[in-house]
Structure 1
Amino acid sequence: MFKLIALDIDGTLINSGGKISAINKKIIKTAQAQGYLITLNTGRSFYSAYKYAQELEIDIPIITANGTLIRDPKTFEVKYQLNFPQNTALEIANFLSKKKGISCQAYHLEGILLSGVGLVGLAKLSNRKGLLSLKRLIAMYEESKRSKTIRVKDFVNAVSNHQIQKFFVAAKTETGKIIEKELEEFPCTVETHYEGENGYLEIIPQGASKGEGLKRLASMYNLTLDQTIAVGDSANDVSMFQVAGLSVAMANATQYAKSHAKHITFSNEDDGVAAVIKEFMLTPVKDFKFIKKAQ
């Protein structure tokens, strides 16, 4: 019997408007009231994910920054933290600081350091077609405030004053693939997502992943991994798919993510998260039709 479900945020829990649907929220809260454990497992920083943890009244630790930080959203107590060795963080920061036309971020315990092309550049590079609208720019600005993002001129110096859990790079797809190849020379793990002309790289310490984060959280509650469900849509969710008792990809997931999941639910626009909880945790309704992976 499943006891814990770990939810990715972008492309999974929230829709294209960045909102948790009323149905997803209702079903999640129903499951919580029945004693099920609901958590977030995201590449976002803690303060970025915190907004959604508050909205859902999550009262167990959430897994953030690709498994490098597990933190209680109620007490802010750090349950687990994995940082880069300082010399490695400085080497990566120095390497990235020499790249032109990219946006780079360094995640630390209390916020994010931003360098490169800045917020406007980040907004463009995080759109598959490189488009920029006032609405998107405002949303990015609000997100940067929530995430406690600080623009820095000297990226290497700023990194030297913090313990870094993750680097995030947004770039043109062609540039990103070059950086990805060059990072093979560094002691780190690189997870990538390319879509259209732009993409991003998530650079984390060796041994870190969403899957490792899920293992640690399950252990904190004396649960076996067979009692866990993982739901996601992208490449960085595959590590938790590989360890969870049940893995579910969204209908809007990448083909790579779908190929590693046992089931495929509805899209993030069609309350796919609620469907998973109803099917595998709550009593299924008689006319419910779950999208199952083709054999």
Structure 2
Amino acid sequence: MKNIYITDLDHTFLRTDLSLSNFSKTIWNAKAKHSIMSIATARTYKKTVQFLKGLEINAPMILLDGALIATVDKKIIDTKFIGKNIADTIIDEGAKFGIYPFVLTLADKNLNEAFLYSNILNTSQKEVLTRYTNDDNLIECKNIRAMDNNFKIVYMGEETILRELTLHIEKIFGNNLKYILAPEAYIGCYFLTILHKDADKSHGIRSVSEYMGFDLEKLTVFGDNFNDVGMFELAKYAVAVANAQDGVKKLANIVLPHTNDEDAVAKYLEGLNDVK
């Protein structure tokens, strides 16, 4: 039975400038000859395949925090959507706090995604959008409304406001939705991600396991932030990079001495002697 390695991308496998070193690519691709290799990320399909160009991914990818499971060649394995009515209610409730979300949604059956955003933006949201200026799936909305199949709703801003908003939305929907509130390391704010109740990396790994028929006892995962906790609890070996959040490190079996900018995942893989 092959070993399985699944890694988070941002601040774990990717460097802070969103690149992968030649060293990381070489080590990963060598390991993929004898192992099952994939990723679990909050990123969309489109962004993920851009970042992973030249990398061997031989299992379905866990995308959008587990709301989408798909192969590199766009075969959809599983989806967990927030419906339009619920999404629109969330948008309306957020408006009471003076904040509007990004809505990431499935635009068509060919796995094209839409990134909806309001024309009313806070400073953090404006900064995020500067990183997507070359993307063709951005849709500015004067009165933002969700589409039919929404992967996730993401608020960005000050921690205090987002904590209040989280509690408010939880009072309305309870455990019918999933809420991730965590620091956003690139621009120094907080983010609140709202998902289908079964959309997370843990459920995503189970979907991939069922599809591939692999043994979770052979699974190693890598991560840095609180949206990685579910897969940490599921895997045989949970590995945190040196720059991971302290709370995430406490849940890891292994804390690496290297950061994402020091090729932590690749150096760990290089040190293994598990080829069979």
TM-score range, shorter chain: 0.7 to 0.9
Any conservation in 2 of the 1:123–1:140 contact (CA below 8 Å)? no
Where 1:19 maps in the other structure, the secondary structure is coil
Amino acid at match of 2:139: I
Any conservation in 2 of the 1:118–1:151 contact (CA below 8 Å)? no
1:77 paired with 2:85, answer no
Give the deviation of 1:255 after TM superposition.
0.5
1:45 paired with 2:31, answer no
CA gap 1:49/1:281 in 2 versus in 1, 3 angstroms: farther
- Give aligned-pair identity as a percent: 22
2:271 alignment partner in structure 1? 279
1:107 alignment partner in structure 2? 104
1:9 alignment partner in structure 2? 9
1:170 paired with 2:156, answer yes
Q: CA RMSD in A?
A: 2.2
**Distance in 2 between the 1:96 and 1:48 partners?**
27
Where 1:236 maps in the other structure, the secondary structure is helix
Q: Which residue of the other structure, out of 59, 69, 86, is the alignment partner of 1:88?
A: 86
1:219 alignment partner in structure 2? 210
Q: Give the 5 Å matches for 1:242-253.
A: 242-253=233-244
1:66 paired with 2:65, answer yes
CA gap 1:281/1:212 in 2 versus in 1, 3 angstroms: farther
Give the deviation of 1:16 after TM superposition.
1.4
CA gap 1:192/1:270 in 2 versus in 1, 3 angstroms: same
Where 1:54 maps in the other structure, the secondary structure is coil
TM-score between both structures, scaled by the size of structure 2? 0.87
Instruction: Show structure 1 runs of 5+ residues with no match.
Output: 127-135, 284-295
Where 1:177 maps in the other structure, the secondary structure is helix
Amino acid at match of 2:250: S
Give the deviation of 1:118 after TM superposition.
4.1
1:184 paired with 2:187, answer no
**Distance in 1 between the 2:101 and 2:35 partners?**
37
Query: Which is worse superposed, 230-239 or 166-175?
Result: 166-175
Query: Which is worse superposed, 196-205 or 240-249?
Result: 196-205
**Distance in 1 between the 2:179 and 2:270 partners?**
34
**Distance in 2 between the 1:225 and 1:268 partners?**
25
TM-score between both structures, scaled by the size of structure 1? 0.82
Instruction: Show structure 2 runs of 5+ residues with no match.
Output: 107-112
Where 2:261 maps in the other structure, the secondary structure is coil
Any conservation in 1 of the 2:65–2:200 contact (CA below 8 Å)? yes
Where 2:53 maps in the other structure, the secondary structure is helix
Q: Give the 5 Å matches for 1:253-268.
A: 253-265=244-256, 266-268=258-260
CA gap 1:57/1:224 in 2 versus in 1, 3 angstroms: closer
Describe the superposition over 1:134-165 as per-residue Cα deviations: whole angstroms up to 9, x where unpaired. xx93x3423xx16x221212212xx1x33112
